[in-house]
């Protein structure tokens, strides 16, 4: 499969058309941003790590009955995926209080939630990705009731599968962000990425942060943390 015209460039990835209308190629960059693009930098090796970690999780999820956009890894930083229209929602699942949930509710980071928390944000950089609820989503026609019920069910299923897998890697899944899209047949597929950019991973024992919070909060050893996640996820 060959790259043709560039369809889109985001903050961390580029998307290219292919000779097949139903597929496109995602190309992961080392570029990193935080705080809605206000903080910019590079994380050495991030593109290839996020590509490999995402594809590993997508295949794990497929095996467990979750329909995803994954088709085939092409090389270190590029993957063929099914073309989808992205539903403009960030679907966030939280197991442990951290980040914006901790500040919004006045919780200490690290407090375990008694039940997983599901949140939605409207993907819109100009508005700073505001949080929305089901009623906003129906009224804005981002998804129907049936579609959102399906997305929520799959988000919780994905949480269970990932928690169980990551436990064996000595990693705690604190929280993560998912994106879903609709393919040419109207089927909803899990899309985008599942990586240290879009998840919070803590060492299960020391609670050391092994994700993009190292970049967001200037904690140092950013590339090393991404490398460590890659090694653990691949069982090394
Ligand atoms: P938050 O605590 O900053 O709201 O982040 C919740 C989760 O979502 C965390 O795992 C990081 C991820 N995330 C993204 O993938 N993209 C984003 O733009 C933001 C703000 C968070």
Rounded to an integer, the average pLDDT of 188-205 is 98
Best CA proximity match to 221, nearest among 232, 234, 208: 208
Best CA proximity match to 199, nearest among 91, 121, 114: 91
Q: What distance in Å separates the CA atoms of residue 116 and residue 123, rounded to the nearest whole number?
A: 22
Which residue lies with its CA nearest to atom 13 of ligand 1?
198
Pick the atom of ligand 1 nearest to 36's CA: 18
Mean pLDDT of the chain: 97
| Per-position DSSP letters for 140-164, written without gaps between them | TTSS-HHHHHHHHHHHHHHHHHHHH
Rounded to an integer, the average pLDDT of 153-181 is 98
The reported pLDDT for the residue numbered 4 is 81
pLDDT tens string 71-92: 999 999 999 999 999 999 999 9
Query: Is there an atom of ligand 1 within 6 Å of 99 CB?
Result: yes
Residue 176 parent element (H or E): strand 171-182
Which residue lies with its CA nearest to atom 16 of ligand 1?
198
Task: Kindly report whether the global pTM for this prediction surpasses the value 0.75.
Answer: yes
The reported pLDDT for the residue numbered 24 is 97
Both tokens of 154, joined, read 């799959």
Q: Which residue has the tokens 């910019």?
A: 40
100 CB neighbour count, 10 Å cutoff: 13
Task: Calculate how far, in angstroms, residue 177's C-alpha sits from the geometric centre of ligand 1.
Answer: 6
Q: What distance in Å separates the CA atoms of residue 210 and residue 199, rounded to the nearest whole number?
A: 9
Establish how many alpha carbons lie within 13 A of residue 206's alpha carbon, considering only the half-sphere containing its beta carbon: 4
Query: Is there an atom of ligand 1 within 6 Å of 70 CB?
Result: no
Which residue lies with its CA nearest to atom 20 of ligand 1?
35
Task: Calculate how far, in angstroms, residue 84's C-alpha sits from the geometric centre of ligand 1.
Answer: 22
Query: Is there an atom of ligand 1 within 6 Å of 200 CB?
Result: yes
The reported pLDDT for the residue numbered 14 is 98
* pLDDT category of residue 100 using cuts at 50, 70 and 90: very high
Task: Calculate how far, in angstroms, residue 176's C-alpha sits from the geometric centre of ligand 1.
Answer: 7
**Contact residues for 80 (Cβ-Cβ < 8 A; gap 6+):** 1, 18, 23, 24, 25, 71, 72, 73, 74
CB 135 within 8 A of CB 122: no
* pLDDT category of residue 11 using cuts at 50, 70 and 90: very high
Q: Which of 89, 99, 217 to mutate to test the pocket of ligand 1 (most atoms within 8 A of CB)?
A: 99
CB 160 within 8 A of CB 61: no
Task: Calculate how far, in angstroms, residue 182's C-alpha sits from the geometric centre of ligand 1.
Answer: 22
Query: Is there an atom of ligand 1 within 6 Å of 199 CB?
Result: yes
Task: Calculate how far, in angstroms, residue 1's C-alpha sits from the geometric centre of ligand 1.
Answer: 32
- % pLDDT > 90, the chain: 98
Query: Is there an atom of ligand 1 within 6 Å of 176 CB?
Result: yes
Task: Calculate how far, in angstroms, residue 11's C-alpha sits from the geometric centre of ligand 1.
Answer: 14
Both tokens of 182, joined, read 């609709």
Q: What distance in Å separates the CA atoms of residue 183 and residue 191, rounded to the nearest whole number?
A: 10
């Amino acid at each position: 499969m060959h790259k043709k015209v560039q369809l889109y460039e985001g903050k961390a990835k580029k998307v290219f058309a292919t000779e097949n209308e139903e597929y496109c190629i995602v190309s992961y960059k080392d570029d990193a941003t935080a705080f809605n693009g206000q903080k910019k930098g590079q994380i050495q090796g991030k593109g290839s790590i996020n590509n490999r970690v995402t594809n590993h999780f997508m295949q794990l999820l497929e095996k467990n009955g979750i329909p995803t956009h994954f088709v085939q890894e092409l090389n270190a930083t590029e993957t063929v995926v099914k073309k989808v229209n992205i539903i403009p929602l960030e679907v966030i699942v939280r197991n442990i209080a951290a980040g914006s949930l901790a500040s919004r509710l006045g919780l200490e980071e690290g407090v375990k939630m008694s039940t997983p928390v599901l949140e939605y944000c409207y993907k819109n950089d100009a508005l700073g990705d505001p949080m929305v609820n089901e009623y906003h989503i129906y009224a804005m026609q981002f998804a129907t009731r049936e579609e959102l019920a399906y997305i929520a069910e799959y988000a919780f299923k994905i949480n269970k599968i990932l928690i169980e897998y990551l436990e064996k890697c000595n990693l705690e899944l604190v929280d993560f962000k998912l994106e879903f899209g609709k393919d040419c047949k109207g089927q909803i597929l899990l899309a985008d990425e599942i990586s240290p950019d879009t998840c919070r991973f803590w060492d299960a024992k020391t609670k050391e942060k092994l994700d993009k919070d190292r970049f967001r909060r200037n904690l140092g050893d950013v590339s090393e943390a991404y490398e460590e996640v890659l090694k653990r996820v691949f069982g090394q």
